[in-house]
Amino acid sequence: MSAVIIDGKQVAAEVRAEVANKVSELKKKGIAPCLAVILVGENPASVSYVTGKQKALAEVGMVDRSVHLPESTSEEELLKLIDELNADDSVHGILVQLPLPKHINEEKVIMAISPEKDVDGFHPVSVGNLMIGRPGFLPCTPHGIIVLLKKAGIETSGKHAVVIGRSNIVGKPVSILLARKDVNCTVTMCHTGTKNMAEITRQADIIVVASGHPHTLTGDMVKEGAVVIDVGVNRIPDSTKKSGFRLIGDCDFDDLKEKTSFITPVPGGVGPMTIAMLMQNTLESAERKA
C-alpha cells in the first residue's frame, strides 16, 4: 500500500478562489473585506508568515491593513493600536502575529482584540463558542484540517481519531471539531503524560500529530490504512539546501507513507490551509457586518 498524499496547496487554492468570488460580490455592495495583521519585531519566521498572509490578501482581493512595528514597541502602544482597529468599522479582522517580544504579555493582547474581529479564533469568547457549538470564528489550523479531511473524501463518522498534542492552538480545538456531529469521530487525546502511546495510536483510524517534535509518529505506531494529518513544522539542518535547512513534520513521512491510506506532506499539507481559513474567517466577518 502506498498512501494518497493530500495536497494542501491545491485545497487551499480552491478555498481562496471561493473566497475571492465572494469578496468581489461584497465589493459590488460597497463592502471591502479588510484584515489588519500586526507584526512586532523582526522574528524571521513571523516575517515570512506575515508575507504569506499579505500575498493571500492580494490574491483574494481583500484590503491589507498590515502594520509592522519595531521590536521596541511598548505593550501600551500595541494595546492602543488594537483599540483603534477595534473601533474602525472598515476593519473586519485583526490578527497579532505570535510570538511577541518578551516584554509584551501575549494573553493581554489576545484579550484586547474584539471577539467580533478575532479571525484567529484565539479569544476566550471564540474558544467558548467553539466548545458549545455556537457560531463564531473557528481557529484556522484546526478548521483547515477538517476541510482537508472532507475534501479528500475521508469517511469520519464513527471513526476513532487520535490527536497527539494538547496545545490551545491545535490539539485542544481540533479534538473538539473532530467530535462535533458533522465530523462525528470518537476522539482520544495523547500528550507528554500518555503512557504506551503506540498502543493507542495503533487503534486509530485517523491520527492528527501536533506535538512539535520530529518523528513523534513512526510506521510501527499505526495500523494499515490509517489516515495521518501532520501539523508539525520543524527546521532541520541540511547542507544540500541553499537555506542550510529543510522543513519536516512531526511524522516519519517516508516510513508512514507505505502503511497509511492518506497522509499530508510537510511542507504543502496543513500549512497552506491555515492562511486559506484565515481568509475565510475575514470574509465571514465582513459578511456579518453586511
Per-residue pLDDT for 1 more than 90?
no
pLDDT at 44: 87
User: Would you place residue 165 in the very low, low, confident or very high pLDDT band (cuts 50, 70, 90)?
Assistant: very high
- The three-point CA angle 200-204-208 to 5° equals 95
pLDDT at 290: 80
**Is 120 known to be catalytic?**
yes
The DSSP code for 237 is E
Percent of the chain topping pLDDT 70: 100
pLDDT band with cut points at 50, 70 and 90 for residue 258: very high
**DSSP labels, 242-265:** TTSEEEE-SB-HHHHTTT-SEE--
Q: Which three cell numbers stand for residue 134?
A: 455556537
Instruction: Give the pLDDT band (50/70/90) at residue 238.
Output: confident
202 annotated binding-site participant = no
Identify the pLDDT of residue 2.
87
Candidates 120, 205, 230, 250; catalytic one:
120
Tens-digit pLDDT profile for residues 81-127? 999 999 999 999 999 999 999 999 999 999 999 999 999 999 999 99
Tell me the sheet residues that pair with 34: 63
Exactly one of 22, 53, 117, 257 is catalytic; name it: 53
Does 166 count as an annotated binding residue?
Answer: yes
pLDDT at 45: 85
Q: Report how far residue 259's alpha carbon sits from residue 8's, in angstroms, rounded to the nearest whole number.
A: 20
Separation of alpha carbons 245 and 247, rounded Å: 7
C-alpha–C-alpha distance, residues 230 and 31, integer Å: 37
Q: How confident is the model at residue 169 (pLDDT cuts 50, 70, 90)?
A: very high
Segment 133-140 long-range contacts (CB within 8 Å, at least 24 positions apart): 133/180, 137/281, 137/284, 137/285, 138/173, 138/177, 138/277, 138/281, 139/169, 139/170, 139/173, 140/273, 140/274, 140/275, 140/277, 140/278, 140/281
Confidence band (pLDDT; 50, 70, 90) for 263? very high
**Catalytic residue at 203?**
no
User: Which residue shows C-alpha cell 497552506?
Assistant: 272
Domains annotated on the chain, with CATH: 30-114 (3.40.50.10860), 139-271 (3.40.50.720)
165 annotated to a ligand binding site: yes
Return the residue matching grid coordinates 492528527.
208
Residue 111: alpha-carbon gap to chain centroid: 19
Query: Is 114 one of the annotated binding-site residues?
Result: no
CA 129 to chain centre: 17
Q: How many helices (H) does the chain have, and how many strands (E)?
A: 10, 12
Q: Which residue is catalytic, options 97, 159, 172, 280?
A: 97
Q: 280 catalytic, yes or no? A: no
Confidence at 60, pLDDT banded by 50, 70, 90: very high
Mean pLDDT over the full length of the chain: 96
Q: What is the mean pLDDT of residues 185-191?
A: 98
Q: What is the mean pLDDT of residues 217-234?
A: 96
3-state helix, strand, coil in the chain (%, to 5): 40, 15, 40
